[in-house]
Chains A and B, each alone.
Chain A
Amino acid sequence: MKQELLHVLAGNSFAMGDGQGDMEVDPYAPIGLWSFDTRFVSRWVLTVGGQRLHALSRDELASFETRFVLVPGTASHYVDADVSVIRHRSLDDSFNERITVLNHSAEPADLTVRMEIGSDFADTAEILRPAPRRPEVTVDPVRRQLRLCYQRERFTRETLVTSTEPVEIDQHGMTFRIRVAPNGEWQNDLHVAMIIRGASGRDLRSSLESHRHHVRTDMREDLARWFDHAPQLVAHRDSLESAYTQALTDLAALRYMPLSYSERVPVGGLPWAMSLYGRDAMITCLQTLPFTPELTPATLHLLALLQGGQLDDYHDEEPGKILSELRYGEAAAFGEQPTVLYYGAADTTPLFVVLLDEYQRWTGDTDLVRELRHPARMALDWIDAYGDLCGDGYLRYQSRNSVNGVANQTWRNSPDAVVDRHGREPAFPRATCELQGYAYDAKLRGARLAREIWGDPAYADRLEAEAARLRERFNRDFWLPDRGYYAFALTPDGEPVDALTSNLGHLLFTGIVEPERADALAAHLCGPELFSGWGVRTYAAGQRPYNPVGAHLGAVWPWDNAIIAAGLRRYGHDTEAARIAAGIFAVAETLGGSVPEVVAGYSREVTKYPVQLPAAGRPQSWASGALLMLLATMLGLRPCDDNLLVDPQIPEGYGRIELLDVPGRWGRADCYGRERPADRRRSRRTARGAEPYQRSGTAR
């Protein structure tokens, strides 16, 4: 059986290895030290006296720091070891490992400590079959350095390992012949720099303003500051507090500094998405506005900078389109993958406008809305000019890159994700329903920004009229009266794709749903076909393609559920929203640690335990963000001018919840909610109704 993998992570860098701290290539997992989509170390194996080590304990001190206590030999052999080793690693801009060898005997110990070091400089895109590369290895005994360098034309990536203690270096590693005094210790720091060569052989980042002025921050201080800025949660239920702390920790760890911007933005998550994804980043921002609003301006600024400017088939780019994915590795650099700036997503562009508006509602920051007027206008123009592929007023997608473009350009991006109840795939271009909701929402929110901030009432009128027509058209063409829900998608001929999916919740979230239809949608979302007990399945059971372990054909995604719960509350389905929130928190609570991106869709009654999918990433920004959004949904947080409105709907068993110092245009405000006794619960269907626990902002 494969052993458990451990990681340290910081921004878009991570080191993943086994329980002893060793790293050896494995085709099924991105083992090694990675940064900017390149594996800088693929072999990192420690031995003492030629023997591998066995871990007695592992202490994951922080997301960027782990300590291993080890003894030579295998578990069945060591008894009363005379020697033990402490391996303490941390990751910031570089990877650092402090090795301490302890001699427990009364005699001096002469030992040979060796670290095997190698790199294949693989790209993230080729884990399964890394290309054979021949890095040049240079030994520099004077500087105690081992240099591994890979070059293809002018593209150069370099790993530089430096030892603080005297060392013998060869092509494959470093050897330390040491004598440790009785009851004494020996200590050595290995420092691994990961270099992306730019002008004059120096690191590219040293010549960039965004990075030159970046003072290397102390990771601990940085994390403390992050927590200090976030609201404090005091909950009757301890597991809620730990889930909250874990989510904030994950979100802090998953921020990275891009090359072209000087503030950090969220990456997708470990291990396959350690890069900027437009969708993941914006959803994470939407989820975290009441908690860590500072993520949003950086994300919007960066995505505006990277906004599409031209037609480009290979990169699925059009003017005004918002980025789908950005990578820095060799495959992107040489165009073997379209990921240097890939725009193959139909939802990111409307979401950009949605996020800009929502951010302003929370923070009152009109400057950013003014500053980003041009990119927001371009995004709104894109919806009709480039997104309406059949000229029928619906936002659709079809990749123009037939080599390695993404076929399904929505969050359901697996190749088989879009199918009807019988498993038939519709033709392209596809108009999935949630895209229409996002487009509708973007137009309405764009109209508000135009009217209130850009001083363009004529444009606001136009957008509102377009939104109204879209809503009418959508409610006519997508509604399946016999089934009582909206079609998953429309074919190019306008035929509905009849599958029942969790996208219904997104429709509620965007407000495109006619209020009299919301009851039916809520019943589906919380019915046995869609609701697993842990959360809402992506694709309802009882349909032929349903598969509980299919990522988008039955599995349960926390981020999807956070959107659904917020949508349910928007339409007054508070009890259903609370049920979903409780289900997802139960996943986090039962599994412990970071909430996974997705869990299987098996019924909770059958498995009793959330079944994890091997491919599911953990931690993931939008999964961790989902817990914050669900918490905000439980409390019913909503900005209303300069006040924070609170309308709690706390699930059973949660008791009292206090969220203190919620940031926003009110300054800071405290929110309280408590579970209502069952007999006192009343049904409230007046959407956005009374605010029983309203507390206006108390600026500090």
Chain B
Amino acid sequence: MGSSAVEHLERRVAGRHPDLPENTAGSLRLDLRDGGRTEHWYLTIDQQDVRVSRSSDNAELVVGGDREVFDRLAEGGLNPAAAVLRNDLTVQGNLRLLLTLRRLFPGPPGARHPREAACGGGGR
């Protein structure tokens, strides 16, 4: 299974995200490095809507890293905050948007609802 960062950005990031606060707004650029090449993805967030384009324009937050690191982010195996502390992702600008970015990528695969973990999945 798993999804590459590019696939994730192309298919699952653009559109409405009701779990984002309405008043979160900003621009975010992801710089995916692959050998000598850098691919720029530009995200615009406003009113729970995310637009995705390919652009190297300036953004409020620029997040850079190897493509492989972004791929792991897309698979849900990477916590972006930890990646920044490890310096696997570099950040420039308004770090608040990193926490927004976190909501646009999946959590770890196989994570359980706490009720499922606790009382064997018995709902109400």
Residues of A within 8 A of B (CB): 153-156, 196-199, 204, 207-210, 259-261, 304-306, 309-315, 317-319, 328, 332-335, 340-341, 371, 373-375, 378, 386-392, 396, 398, 400, 428-429, 492
Q: Which residues of B contact A155 (CB under 8 A)?
A: 85-87
What's the nearest-Cβ distance from chain B to residue A202, in Å? 10
B107 to chain A, nearest CB (A): 3
| Chain A residues, Cβ within 8 Å of B22 | 374
How far does the alpha carbon of A159 sit from the alpha carbon of B53 in the complex, in Å? 41
Q: Of all chain A residues, which has the CB nearest B99?
A: A305
Instruction: List residues of chain B with CB within 8 A of the CB of A492.
Output: 118-119
Are A375 and B95 in contact, CB atoms less than 8 angstroms apart? no
In-complex Cβ contact of B119 among A197, A386, A387, A391 (8 A): A391
Q: Let me know if B117 and A310 touch, CB within 8 A.
A: no
Q: Taking A311-B113, A335-B79 as contacts, is the C-beta distance between A208 and B95 under 8 angstroms?
A: yes
Interchain Cβ contacts under 8 Å between A and B, 11 examples: A198-B84, A198-B90, A198-B91, A199-B90, A208-B91, A309-B107, A315-B79, A333-B82, A340-B82, A378-B19, A391-B122
Question: Are A398 and B93 in touch, CB under 8 angstroms?
Answer: no
Q: Is the CB of A429 within 8 A of B108?
A: no
**A690 and B98 alpha carbons, distance in the complex (Å):** 51
| CB-based contact B93/A209 at 8 Å | yes
User: What are the residues of chain B within 8 A of A196 when measuring CB–CB?
Assistant: 85
**Nearest CB in chain A to that of B18: its residue:** A374
* Complex interface: chain B residues within 8 A of A210 (CB): 94-96
A312 partner residues in chain B, CB cutoff 8 A: 107-108, 111
Cβ A398 vs Cβ B81 within 8 A: no
Q: Is B72 an interface residue (CB 8 A)?
A: no
Residues of A within 8 A of B99 (CB): 260, 305-306
Question: Do residues B107 and A311 form an inter-chain contact, with CB atoms below 8 A?
Answer: yes
Q: B35 on the interface (CB 8 Å rule)?
A: no
Q: Which residues of A contact B20 (CB under 8 A)?
A: 374
A389-B103 Cα distance, complex, nearest whole Å? 24
A313 and B94 within 8 A (CB):
no
- Asked if residues A199 and B106 are in contact (CB atoms below 8 Å), the reply is no
- Closest chain-A Cβ to B94's Cβ sits at a distance in Å of 5
Q: Chain A's nearest CB lies how many Å from the CB of B122?
A: 6
> What is the chain B residue whose CB lies nearest that of A309?
B103
Query: A207, B79: Cβ atoms under 8 Å?
Result: no
Q: For the complex, is B114 an interface residue (Cβ under 8 Å from A)?
A: yes
- Closest chain A residue to B94 by CB distance? A209
Tell whether B124 is near chain A: CB-to-CB under 8 Å.
yes
Q: B112 in the interface, Cβ–Cβ < 8 Å?
A: yes
Most chain A beta carbons < 10 A, residue from B93, B113, B118: B118
Query: Once bound together, how far apart are the Cα atoms of A375 and B110, in whole Å?
Result: 25
Q: Select one of A259, A335, A374, A389 contacting B118, CB under 8 A.
A: A389
Contact B124 A340, beta carbon cutoff 8 Å: no
Expressed in whole angstroms, the Cα–Cα distance for A318 and B112 within the complex equals 9
Chain A contacts for B86, CB-based, 8 A: 153-155, 333-334
Closest 10 CB pairs of A and B: A310-B107, A391-B124, A199-B90, A374-B21, A333-B85, A311-B111, A154-B87, A260-B95, A309-B103, A389-B118
Does the CB pair B85–A340 fall under 8 Å?
yes
